[in-house]
Amino acid sequence: MLTLQNASVMRGRMLTLDDVSLSLAAGRTLAVVGESGAGKSTLIAAVLGLVKLHRGRIAWNDAPVATIRPALVMQEPRAAFNPALNLRRSVMEPLTARRLTPDPVRLARFCDGLELPRDLLDRRPDQVSIGQAQRVGILRALIAAPPLVLFDEPLSALDAVTQKHTARLIAQLQAEEGFAALIVTHDLGYAAAYADDIAVLRAGRLQEVQPAHAFIAAPQTEYGHTLRDAAFALGALEHVA
Ligand SMILES: Nc1ncnc2c1ncn2[C@@H]1O[C@H](COP(=O)(O)OP(=O)(O)OP(=O)(O)O)[C@@H](O)[C@H]1O
Ligand SMILES: [Mg+2]
């Protein structure tokens, strides 16, 4: 289980994460929603240990999160890869870094599950579509079977049809692999459709955390209402409400 206890991050003189306490159980999905600048990427950086905590602690079952080697799926699929390497080299990196050899059966199963043609991994990042690159990013994240995968706006670089498709593939793989997913998104429709719990972040502070359906039915805070109502107005919640 991932736990954040009173986690705060200071950037310059500003707390970009301010006293945030959250938990995510093994195999479950937590969506952190909030507008641009809310501190969503900061939260991910803090979980990955890429920024120092000003206060509080973040742990996986009382051990430092780094011990379980969490994986990250980034917003910009192509930027996630070394442009000079073929995708296979990048995908294998989490294994080769630990001197592990890939299991070809597992790799083939992932390629099929993510609808990636067998030869696609022999191309460079600029030789695949953005949607394919994002699915390769997901493949790389899962290859070493991490118990925790962090997704920073995993759908926002994709068109609407590809978003729906990719969201379904992520959920399918999660059901098969059993990893815990921390999904940071400004897309409340996605959060509501796939997350167990929704946490609302604003200006670095946690506003509320609720089971997803409870949040959509009845946000507990004024800001939660504003977000929920805006998503309804956009039609983003039609399929979940
Ligand atoms: N390296 C940095 N140095 C100083 N301030 C930073 C740095 N990175 C982010 N910030 C500030 O921290 C706050 C939170 O930024 P963050 O990137 O976490 O937001 P976000 O919720 O991920 O936004 P977006 O939806 O646009 O990605 C913002 O006010 C931002 O300006
Ligand atoms: Mg961000």
Tens of pLDDT along 9-58? Answer: 999 999 999 999 999 999 999 999 999 999 999 999 999 999 999 999 99
Using a 6 Å cutoff on CB, does residue 57 contact ligand 1? no
Between 3.40.50.720, 3.40.50.410, 3.40.50.300, 3.30.530.20, what CATH number should domain 1-70+151-158+184-236 receive?
3.40.50.300
Q: What is the mean pLDDT of residues 107-120?
A: 91
Task: Please indicate whether residue 39, judged by its CB atom, sits closer than 6 Å to ligand 1.
Answer: yes
Residue with tokens 């991910």: 44
Instruction: Please state the domain extents for the chain.
Output: 1-70+151-158+184-236
> How remote is the CA of residue 225 from the centroid of ligand 1, in Å?
23
User: What pTM value is reported for the model?
Assistant: 0.94
pLDDT at 240 > cutoff 80: no
Q: Is 30 in the pocket of ligand 1 (CB under 6 A)?
A: no
Percentage, residues of the chain above pLDDT 90:
83
Closest residue by Cα to atom 26, ligand 1, is: 36
* CA–CA separation, 21 and 56 (whole Å): 9
**Ligand 1, atom 3, residue with closest C-alpha:** 11
Range of weakest confidence among 2-6, 174-178, 229-233: 229-233
Q: How far is the CA of 105 from the centre of ligand 2 (A)?
A: 35
Task: Return the SS3 of 120.
Answer: helix
Task: Assign 206 a pLDDT band (cuts: 50, 70, 90).
Answer: very high
Answer yes or no: is pLDDT of 226 > 90.
Answer: yes
Evaluate if residue 70 carries a pLDDT over 90: yes
13 phi, psi to nearest 5 deg: -105, 5
Which residues make Cβ contacts (< 8 Å) with residue 21, sequence separation at least 6? 3, 4, 5, 6, 7, 56, 206
How many angstroms does the Cα of residue 239 sit away from the middle of ligand 1?
A: 31
Residue with tokens 């953005």: 130
Q: Is 11 in the pocket of ligand 1 (CB under 6 A)?
A: yes
Taking the CA of residue 45 as reference, the ligand 1 atom at the shortest distance is 18
